[in-house]
Amino acid sequence: MNWTVLVAYCIIDDLLKTPASVVRTLWVLAALAFSGKHKHALAYAQEQAFFLVHRR
């Protein structure tokens, strides 16, 4: 799964060239691995320290 997230981020970042790449990658992760549950994707990204995502 870590490779999937890395590849998704690289492709999205190359296409967008904006900080929104992280948000869109989390969206893809939620869709692929967590049945669209964004909270689960965010928790997984924090657990794996993918983007150093912080909750507000």
- Rounded Cα–Cα distance for residues 28 and 30 (Å): 5
Confidence of residue 44 (pLDDT cuts 50, 70, 90): very high
- Rounded Cα–Cα distance for residues 9 and 47 (Å): 17
Percent of the chain with pLDDT over 70: 91
The one-letter code for the residue type at 35 is S
| Predicted model pTM | 0.74
Confidence of residue 54 (pLDDT cuts 50, 70, 90): low
The one-letter code for the residue type at 5 is V
Query: Which pLDDT score, from 0 to 100, does residue 37 have?
Result: 96
